[in-house]
Structure 1
Amino acid sequence: MSAIVRLAQIRGLMFDIEEEAGLTEISGLEREVLLACADLINTNELARTKDILSHRFLKGFSRPSVFRALKSLVNQ
């Protein structure tokens, strides 16, 4: 089995879990921000803004986009 096929299977499992958790109702960036926060809280017991901005899940996103996603999540 190729790495791409394995990755597709893992992504399918992730999608199922995201659906169960109700995460398919939010944007992709909001989902990444939420997961980054959960990861930080799991390891550090808190998620500080500077840590969220530098989290590996959010490397490709601009600072303003991450802040908009955070604001949207807080307002939901």
Structure 2
Amino acid sequence: MALLTAREVADLLGVHVRSVWRMSQTGDIPAPIRLSERVVRWRLADLDLHLQRLADHAHRTSELSRPSAAMRNGGAR
């Protein structure tokens, strides 16, 4: 089980470390696990699954917003 630091999560997501903590608090990324009072890590598998779900949702949403072939060709004839 791969565990990531906040810095590693930030690098993975392309955001600042403070954004990782904010995203965690708002539920935008999975919650970390606390290994001790001062050690917190994120499971890579949890982040991968979360990112895949976001990508799947974005793909479905973009397909729904795309006009159908009939609409692009001036409507059904």
**TM-score of the pair, normalised by structure 2:** 0.33
Q: TM-score, normalised by structure 1?
A: 0.33
Higher gyration radius (CA)? 2
Higher helix share: 1
